[in-house]
Each structure stands twice: as C-alpha cells, then as structure tokens.
Amino acid sequence: MIVPRTIKGLSILTASISGLVILALGAAAIFISHREIEAQIDHRIELEMDALLEYHASHGTAALAQFVHMRDGGTTGGTGYLAGAGGEGRMMLYALSDAKGNRIAGSLIPRLPPDGWTEFLPIRRPDGSTGKAQALGRSLPDGGQIVVAGDRDALSRADDRILLVALAGLGVILLTGTVSTIALGRLIRRRLVLISGAAQGIIEGDYTRRVPIDGSGSEFDRISMILNAMLGRIETLMLSLRQVSSDIAHDMRTPLGRIRQDMEALMRAAPDEATADRIERTIADMDALLDLFAGLLGISEVQGLAVRKRFILLPFAEIVADIVEAYRPAFDDEGRTITAMLDDVTIRGDAQLLKRAIANMLENILVHAGDGANAIITLAVEQGAAVLTVADDGPGIPANGREKIFERLVRLDPTHSKPGHGLGLSMVRAIVHAHQGMIKIVPSSSGLHLAIRLPGVRAG
C-alpha cells in the first residue's frame, strides 16, 4: 500500500476511493433492481400463463387465439410490480400454435421457443424495433403451444438510469476532487511560502522575522502562532547569548585592561632594560590571548549571519587586487612571487569580511606553504558565479589534513612552532558561508589549492 505524502496524492487517493464507492453502490443498485424487476416480470408471466391455461381449458383454442391476438403487444393491465404501471418498455407478448407447430395467433415473437423458460428471446415490437424478452412456453392439452413473454426493455432502461446516476455521481466526485485539490494545494502553498519566507529570513540572520497570521483561526494560523512562539524563543536566546558574550567580553576585558595599564606603568618604571623586555613580552602574550579570544568570537559572529544585513554590491576584483598589492612586498621580501589574474565580477557582500578572508589565505601561504612557495590568485566568472582560487606551489598538505584545515584551532604543523592559532581558514570558511558561497580544496600536484565559489550578480 502506497501512503501518499503530498496533498495532491492524498486528494487523488480520496477522490479515487469516493469514485470507487459510488461505482460499487451503482453496481449494487443495478444488480438489486435488475433482479427485482426480472422477478416481477417472471411473476407476471407466470400469473398470465396460469390464467391463459385456465382460459384455454374452459373456452377452447379459438377463444384463446382471439384473446392472444387482442393482448399481443399490449402495454397495460399488468400485475404485481408492473400492474397499472404500463407504458413503454412494459410490453407483454403472446403466441399460440397448434399441434403441428403452425402459428395460430401472435405475431411479435418470430421464432417460438421450446417449453419452459427462455431468456433473451428475440422479439419484434409493434413499432418495428426489435428487442429481447423473458419467455415462458407451455404445451396445451391438444398438443399446441402457448408462449407468454415480457419485454426486457424496462430492465435495461432501469439499468441505464441507475448507471447514468452513478456515472454522474462519479463525475461530480472527480470534478470536486480536482477543484478542491487545486484550491487546497494553492492555499497550502501560499501559507507554506509565508512560513518558509520567515524561516529563510531567520537563516539569513534576521531573527526578528515572524510568520504572518491572517486571523482566520485556521490550522495554519495555529501552527504559525506556534512557530512564531518558537522564533520568539530563538530570538530571546540569541539575544541573551549575545548579551552573555558581550558581558563576558566586558568582564574579562575590563580587568585585563587594568592589568595592561599596570604593566605599561611598570614598564615605564622598569629599573633596567631586561625587566622592561620581560614586561613587554608579557603584554605581547596577553595581547595574543585576547587575539585568540577575539578570533573565536569573530568566527561565531560571522557564523551567526547577522553580518548579512550589511551586504552591498561590491566590485570583487578590486577588493582582491587591493589585498594582493598589500601583500606583494611581504612576498617580495622573501624572494617569493604573488601573481593575480582577475576578471571583473560584482558580488553581494561585506568588503571588510572579504578582505579578511583573502588576507587570511595569503597569510596562510606566507606562514605555512613552505620556504619559497609562490602564490597564484585567479578570479573568474563561471556560470554566473565568482570563482576565486588561491593556490601555492609549496609542498602542499598531507592528505589526512584536508578535512581538518577548516576546523577551528587546527594546526597541521605538529610542533606548533609557526605563529597563529589555527583560526585563519575557519574564518575564511565562515565568511564564505556567510556569503552563501562554497570553499573546497582542489586536488593538485603541488601546494594547497583553495577554490571559493560565490554567487555573482549579473551586471545591470
């Protein structure tokens, strides 16, 4: 049994079941009425046969022949169910023959049946049309035969009418089913669009978004109200989380600020150069810790996506070129090269974050790609997307490091002798995701080859 999972499927299933029920009811009605009418026709034929046999016994063949002649093709004077309900399709037919089989009376039954019941006996009607009849034949004491038949037309008429009603019902069911499926689908889609719109807003960092409520008190209104209560809760939690992290920042940075002030004062009052150097190193260590803390909070902040609120259209190539030029002397000083091939492309984003991402990747090359490794940066437009690749020609990273390099605090340098906290590429990935982009490592024969794909904005 296939359980439908869509509104359309459910509606089609419901309409199909209703249709089948209508058809079954129609079939049952036809079956019952058919049997009943047939029984009535048979009963009438039997009654008439008894009466005619009695009449033959008392009045003789000639009188019977006249009677038959008179009644043949008549449509009135029935008995039982058909009594008084004569009319079209209720015709009775009679035929009389002598001992040699010669027809004495009755002309509407072309071929006389044998004795006993015969169904579907071909007949002719007075108007010239043909049909079928139920017929009962009996032998007369003189060797002749009397046949009484009832037109089955009433039966097929009743069958046709019931079938018509059933089919009409089926049509109505299918029509209302189709219309209600379309209307219901539209209603549901309209409300779901509102709900998914609000959800999309939340995903994009706008925690104030809510699902609109139309006041109809419908199931959708009720689920929307529940969703809104949930979204309100999320907003409260996000706000309090933000409050907590800024409280922590405040409560940590304020005492650290005092410590730093004291250190600076101590450094000025240092009795000798060595003490001053030690104090300076302590301050540098403290600043490094604060930097780590700020880096972690910064990644979380970018992942929170609230930064998307400030996105604007940006000339991406100019931003990349700016950063490349800023880092060129640093590469030159180490005898390394940095090459950029940049196509113009406009994207939506935050210039500061994008600069930071590019700077992080270049610094990653400077610090980790190995002595003499050069950087190659390209920006191209592929299928409307901006694709930035940042590659180096150093020894590359071990295969088992590929999945880890974007994680926080991961440093592939086993001795941790190189500077940094292992946050650079995590920040890059967070920034790329905030820009609805993707970052991946492109397999290459040498060096680390990063590719970033950001949705482009068509000119005009």
Partner 1 sequence: MEDGNVRLDAMRILLLEDDRETRDYLVRGLTELGHQVVAESEGKAALARTLAEAFDILILDRMVPGLDGLTMLRLAREAGCQSPAIILSAMAGIEDRVAGLEEGADDYLIKPFAFAELAARLGALARRPPPGERGDAQTLLRVGGIEMDLVRRTVKRDGRTVDLQPREFSLLEYLLRNADRLVTRTMLLDRVWNFGFDPKTNIVETHMSRLRTKLNEGGADNVIRTIRGSGYMIVSGGQ
In the complex, the residues that contact partner 1 under the rule CB under 8 A are 245-246, 249-250, 252-254, 256-261, 264-265, 267-268, 280, 286, 290-291, 294, 297-298, 301-302, 306-307, 310, 322, 325-327, 329-330, 332-333, 352-353, 355-356, 359, 362-363, 366-367, 419-420
∠ CA 454-456-460, rounded to 5°: 165
Structure tokens at 107: 């002309």
Q: How far is the CB of 333 from partner 1 (least distance, A)?
A: 6
Orientation of helix 424-434 relative to helix 351-368, angle to 10°: 150
CB of 391 to partner 1, least distance (A): 18
Q: How far is the CB of 193 from partner 1 (least distance, A)?
A: 30
Find the shortest distance in angstroms from Cβ 357 to partner 1. Answer: 10
* In the complex, minimum distance from the CB of residue 440 to partner 1, in angstroms, rounded to a whole number: 24
Q: Of the two residues 115 and 291, which places its CB atom closer to partner 1 in the complex?
A: 291
> Please, which residue, 22 or 358, has the CB nearer to partner 1?
358
CB closer to partner 1, 219 vs 332: 332
Tokens representing 36 are 């009943």
Nearer CB in complex with partner 1: 18/303: 303
Give me the least distance between CB of 253 and partner 1, in Å please: 4
Task: State the minimum distance, in angstroms, from the CB of residue 247 to partner 1.
Answer: 9
Question: Which residue has 């995590």 as its token pair?
Answer: 426
- Residue 233 CB, nearest distance to partner 1 (Å)? 22
Q: Which of 387, 377, 396 has the alpha carbon at shortest distance from 337?
A: 377
- Closest distance between partner 1 and the C-beta of residue 329, in Å? 4
| Nearest CB to partner 1, comparing residues 239 and 380 | 239
CA nearest neighbour of 149 among 72, 77, 222 = 72
Shortest distance, CB of residue 227 to partner 1, whole angstroms? 26
Select 99 or 367, whichever has its Cβ closest to partner 1.
367
